[in-house]
Amino acid sequence: MAHMIVAGNWKMNASKSAVTELLSGLKDNVASVSNAELVVFPPFPYLAQAQAELMGTGIRIGVQNICAQDKGAYTGEVSLVMAKEFDVSYVLVGHSERRALFAEDDSQVAAKYVATQAMQLTPILCVGETLEQREQGRTLSVVNGQIQAVIDAAGGASFAHAVIAYEPVWAIGTGLTASPKQAQEVHRAIRDHIADVAPEQARGLKILYGGSVTVASAEELFAQADIDGGLVGGASLQADSFLAIGRAAK
């Protein structure tokens, strides 16, 4: 298994033709990435296309959100059972845009995390502070609080089958990136927090950095001891830049 994960969150971007172009660019050049598992997170309507195009390439598929219920009267929602039919491996839970724009709270995020693991899929738990929280010196308490909600619901040992993405809210889609030192500090604190309850799982846990990662910033970020890859938004929409970020994983 590759040491690093480089995941591309397409958010609500794409079209059939853009997806065709992006996936073929990824497929044609995936061999140039040797030390990162690549994962793409297309919007739901493009899952079938991603499944068909990426079969046998080693590029994994994830979904950006999920409903914690299996089936029933949940208009507009998509279940894990459905996602699994499209060879999905990963599920983003608690992305800051879900928390801020769709009012997802820690208990809903924890329920999605638990449901994802119950279906033998891997949650990528997204955590991060706002600019205001950072300026108030509350970064670590906010981030550890978001993680604690999941520990309370699922236990520390659950991190054997999960990934965390630290994404400072002020760095998402803004062009601002946490410095490698700032990011490493938080990643280390996250690992230490989980180690308090699950030391072995904390050691093996992959913690990705997200927030305006670019080809230029990736290499130094990924060189930090506790950074195990990236969750990439904007730069994952072009095959060239996404693959170059994948190659920055050494």
Q: Which of 62, 168, 229, 233 binds ligand PEP (CB under 6 A)?
A: 233
> And the tokens for 162?
């999960």
Q: Which of 22, 54, 198, 231 binds ligand PEP (CB under 6 A)?
A: 231
Residue 200 among the catalytic residues: no
Q: Does 211 bind ligand PEP (CB under 6 A)?
A: yes
Q: Does 173 bind ligand PEP (CB under 6 A)?
A: yes
DSSP, collapsed to helix, strand or coil, labels residue 234 as: helix
- Phi/psi region, residue 8 (left: phi>0; alpha: psi -120 to 50; beta: rest), is beta
Q: Are 243 and 26 in contact (CB under 8 A)?
A: yes
Residue 167 among the catalytic residues: yes
229 phi/psi in degrees, rounded to 5: 135, -165
Q: Are 71 and 81 in contact (CB under 8 A)?
A: yes
- Which CB sits closer to ligand PEP, 156 or 211? 211
- Which CB sits closer to ligand PEP, 198 or 213? 213
Size of the site for ligand PEP (CB under 6 A): 12
Q: Are 206 and 163 in contact (CB under 8 A)?
A: yes
Question: Which of the residues 53, 97, 167, 187 is marked catalytic?
Answer: 167
> And the tokens for 68?
């914690």
> And the tokens for 20?
């065709």
Task: Give CA–CA dist 220/249, Å, rounded.
Answer: 9
Q: Does 128 bind ligand PEP (CB under 6 A)?
A: no
Which residues, 6 to 45, sit near ligand PEP by CB under 6 A?
9
In whole angstroms, the minimum distance from the beta carbon of 184 to ligand PEP comes to 17
**Where do contacts with ligand PEP occur on this chain (CB under 6 A)?**
9, 167, 172-173, 210-213, 231-234
Question: Could you list the active site residues?
Answer: 95, 167
